[in-house]
């Protein structure tokens, strides 16, 4: 079952495939009826989702890099 709220902390523990699925799922829940162009419609949804988690996700990544680790190491 997909989490009802998308948090950076949730993504960090997931594989790349799981991250993608979760982001796509949450993007599909966004209502964007005011944008007629399909490409802009999709870009808006993805942008909205990514911008909601980016600050926390990047702060975590920076902290890992300072400890000689990397978020990329969590990919399974």
CB 45 within 8 A of CB 30: yes
14-63, pLDDT tens digit by residue? 888 998 899 999 999 888 888 888 889 889 999 999 998 888 888 887 88
Q: What pLDDT is attached to residue 61?
A: 79
Angle subtended at Cα 33 by Cα 19 and Cα 31, rounded to the nearest 5 degrees? 35
CB 69 within 8 A of CB 23: no
Question: 31 or 4, which is more confident?
Answer: 31
């Amino acid at each position: 079952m997909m989490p009802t709220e998308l948090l950076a902390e949730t993504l960090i523990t997931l594989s790349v495939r799981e991250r993608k699925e979760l982001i796509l799922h949450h993007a599909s829940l966004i209502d964007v009826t005011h944008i007629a162009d399909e490409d802009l419609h999709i870009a808006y949804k993805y942008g909205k989702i990514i911008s909601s988690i980016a600050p926390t996700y990047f702060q975590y990544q920076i902290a890992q890099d300072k400890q000689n680790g990397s978020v990329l190491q969590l990919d399974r």
